[in-house]
Structure 1
Amino acid sequence: MITAQFVLTMARYNAWQNRQMKAAMEALGEDECKKDRGAIFGSILATANHLLWGDAMWMARFDGGARPQGGIPESVDMTARLPDWALERFRMDGRILLWAEALRAVDLVGDLKWYSGAQGREVSKSMALCVTHMFNHQTHHRGQVHAMVTAAGGEGWTSDLAFMPGEGPWL
């Protein structure tokens, strides 16, 4: 389904996107990022927190490291301030990159088993599907943040994978 090279490309893309999202959020300002915008998680910061929480949850399953506190309802409160979010986002992007750099083809084979708090039961899914889902989840919520930032009068950012800077091969 996917390769280790694809995962590394997506990890690099994630970090690039988050750097741009951080700059757009900082330019907008913390007060604007905390305003309820009517999105599923409310504000820009709350949505960015949920994304950070989701990455932490998936990475705990993938690399065995620390998992975030609480469930989906608490995910919006992962950090209280924009600078705190930026620091944790930087750390998480580094964690994802280090994991992706060490990934081997065999690591993507087989099933991942975990207890899903959202579903209230044990779940088993293809590892490759779960990794793909993590990157898809990131893109989905960054798209929501992009829409809220631009609706608030802020600058959007380049999201085209084909225009990510750096050396190939990409896919």
Structure 2
Amino acid sequence: MQSYIDSLKEENLSESLTFISKSQKRKCTFPVWFLLLHFFNHQTHHRGQLTTLISQCGKDFGVTDLLWLPEAEF
């Protein structure tokens, strides 16, 4: 993913990508910028699922807010 992002140029973001959606059972076409937005935003959903499962198993994974991580000092 990193090499793909590194290779993008601004003009690539307005290009369209067509794929077959398994959930919608149809061909879909979206601009690259929108698909990237969805990709990174949807990860939040899955991270939330994982933190819920970890918590239900009785594990404390600590603070997950980026603002409070030691590396976040600017």
TM-based fold match above 0.5: yes
The structure whose residues are more often helix, as a share, is 1
Secondary structure of the structure 1 residue equivalent to 2:59: coil
1: CA distance, partners of 2:17 / 2:66: 27
In structure 2, the residue corresponding to 1:119 is in which secondary structure?
Answer: coil
How big is the shift at 1:146? 0.4
Pairing 1:99–2:4 present: yes
Moved over 3 A (4+): 161-166
Trace 1:12-161 onto structure 2 (pairs within 5 A): 96-161=1-66
Equivalent-residue separation in structure 2 for 1:123 and 1:144 (angstroms): 27
Identity %: 28
- Which amino acid is 1:140 matched to? H
TM-score by length of 1: 0.37
> Closer, same or farther in 2 for the Cα pair 1:97/1:148, shift >3 Å?
same
Q: CA deviation at 1:156?
A: 2.0
Q: Secondary structure at the match of 1:143?
A: helix
Residues of 2 paired with 1:102 and 1:158: CA distance? 33
Match of 1:82 in 2: none
| Higher CA-based Rg | 2
- CA RMSD, 1 decimal: 2.2
> Normalized per residue, which structure has more strand?
2
Q: Where does structure 2 lack aligned partners over 5 or more consecutive residues?
A: none
- CA offsets per residue over residues 74-101 of structure 1, 9 Å max, x none? xxxxxxxxxxxxxxxxxxxxxx122222
Report how far residue 108 of structure 1 moved: 1.1
Q: Quote the offset at 1:157 in angstroms.
A: 4.5
Evaluate the alpha carbon distance shift between residue 102 and residue 121 of structure 1 in structure 2; reply closer, same or farther with a 3 A threshold. same
Residue 139 of structure 1: how far off its partner (Å): 1.0
